[in-house]
Amino acid sequence: MSAAALSDAHDALLLDLDGTVWEGGRAILGAVEAIVGSGVAALYVTNNASRAPGVVAEMLRGIGLGADSRDVITSAEAAVELVASRIPAGSRVLVLGSDSFKDIARSAGFDVVDSADAEPAAVLHGHNPATGWAELSEAALAIRAGAVYVASNVDSTLPMERGLMVGNGSMVAAVTHATGVVPDSAGKPAAAMFHSGVRRVGASAPLAVGDRLDTDIAGAVAAGIPSLHVLTGVSGFYDLCAASAEQRPVYVGADMSALGCSAGVLSVGQQGGFSAAVVAQDASGHRVVELSFDADAAGVWAASVPEAQVGSAVNVSPQLCALRTVLAVLWESSAATSVEVRPADDASARALEAWW
């Protein structure tokens, strides 16, 4: 197995923020060190439209990451670009979102209003903790009157220090429920933000990194960019097991330290002495997988792991090796609706304890 780090094979990192690099602005343990240590150009591609790129860059510098506004791509920028292709220049737009979102719309030449009575041509909907019933109602009135509806993103949750808070998608759902209109979404999982990042740095071998299958990873797949999924945010072990082909990452790591691991370690496949087999499935799509452990096979595999990977021990832990082994079996076919993994021995049972 090659000792080369995953980051060595790429010339740009397209990094999600919430749940990947930080939680509510607080750096996730080891993330900053991993990004800096990779030596690879980093772009931050975020669905959170509540802050201007310059503000995000300042926050990144505050946790030890060198960044300026050009290193940040937000879904607010993508949403304004999308709506510009749908309505005439200079049109009135109603923006549900932060002041920075409104500033981006103004900079693009739009007349930002705050009432449906102004007859806006479009409603732009981005995350803002201050959004309430009154703002949502103005949006609903404008959309019912014919305004184009564009959301910066439709993430149902937002990872914060205390846990998963209400995301923009949950607020969008209220407007959709009231109007019957589903917005176009400019952010991930659409591919546009990834393509924009690649063009911005002229990358030929980018790697996308994220914590959420239905946005970060699905967006990378849509853009044709290899991806690394980290288990520090929204999507966990069993989410990966049931992932559809459109949401399957190339690599799976515990956290950002995976950038220092080899592709062979991080790729799905039998490893760590584990083996797996589907032992039952039903018409509803539920699958049962049996996980087994062989100590002799584990020794052979461990000997093949380069010494350079010792610093990333968490990525070769039994629970991660078991996960990649199970995924290799499950991903041979279409997605399961649900998955149950049963241990065949004590070592497998211990590995599965961490999946919860």
CATH classification at residue 236: 3.40.50.1000
State the pairing for strand pair 22-23/26-27. Answer: antiparallel
The answer, yes or no, to whether residue 310 has pLDDT greater than 70, is: no
Asked if residue 245 and residue 278 are part of one domain, the reply reads: no
Half-sphere exposure at residue 47, Cβ-oriented, CA atoms within 13 angstroms: 30
Axis-axis angle for helices 168-179, 133-144 (nearest 10): 50
Weakest-pLDDT range from 282-286, 303-307, 326-330: 303-307
Flag whether 1 is in a domain. no
Active site residues: 16, 18
The answer, yes or no, to whether residue 31 has pLDDT greater than 80, is: yes
Report which secondary-structure segment, H or E, holds 129.
Answer: none
Flag whether 284 is in a domain. yes
Asked if residue 169 and residue 80 are part of one domain, the reply reads: yes
Asked if residue 268 and residue 245 are part of one domain, the reply reads: no
At 48, list the tokens.
Answer: 């959170």
User: How many Å apart are CA 243 and CA 336, to the nearest integer?
Assistant: 8
Asked if residue 279 and residue 258 are part of one domain, the reply reads: no
Model confidence pLDDT, tens digit, residues 100-136: 999 999 999 999 999 999 999 999 999 999 999 999 9
Flag whether 107 is in a domain. yes
**Which of 262, 287, 306 is where one domain is finished?**
262
Please name which of 48, 66, 49 lies closest in space to residue 57, comparing C-alpha atoms. Answer: 66
Please name which of 69, 65, 47, 43 lies closest in space to residue 57, comparing C-alpha atoms. Answer: 69
User: How many Å apart are CA 196 and CA 217, to the nearest integer?
Assistant: 16
DSSP 332: T
Model confidence pLDDT, tens digit, residues 191-216: 989 998 999 999 999 999 999 999 99
Flag whether 326 is in a domain. yes
Asked if residue 204 and residue 60 are part of one domain, the reply reads: yes
Phi and psi at 227, nearest 5°, equal -135, 155
pLDDT at position 99, please?
96
pLDDT at position 132, please?
97
Weakest-pLDDT range from 20-29, 169-178, 303-312: 303-312
**Which of 185, 204, 237 is where one domain is finished?**
185
Asked if residue 94 and residue 158 are part of one domain, the reply reads: yes
User: How many Å apart are CA 58 and CA 104, to the nearest integer?
Assistant: 18
Flag whether 93 is in a domain. yes
Would you place residue 311 in the very low, low, confident or very high pLDDT band (cuts 50, 70, 90)? low
Asked if residue 330 and residue 319 are part of one domain, the reply reads: yes
Would you place residue 3 in the very low, low, confident or very high pLDDT band (cuts 50, 70, 90)? confident
Q: Which residues contact 294 (CB under 8 A, 6 or more apart)?
A: 273, 274, 275
Asked if residue 69 and residue 205 are part of one domain, the reply reads: yes
How many domains is the chain built from?
3
Enumerate the β-bridge partners of residue 207. 13
Would you place residue 308 in the very low, low, confident or very high pLDDT band (cuts 50, 70, 90)? low
Asked if residue 166 and residue 96 are part of one domain, the reply reads: yes
Range of the domain at 322: 264-352
**Which of 211, 237, 262 is where one domain is finished?**
262
Mean pLDDT of the chain: 95
User: Mean pLDDT, to the nearest integer, of 326-342?
Assistant: 96
Asked if residue 81 and residue 68 are part of one domain, the reply reads: no
> Which pTM was predicted?
0.88
Asked if residue 24 and residue 99 are part of one domain, the reply reads: no
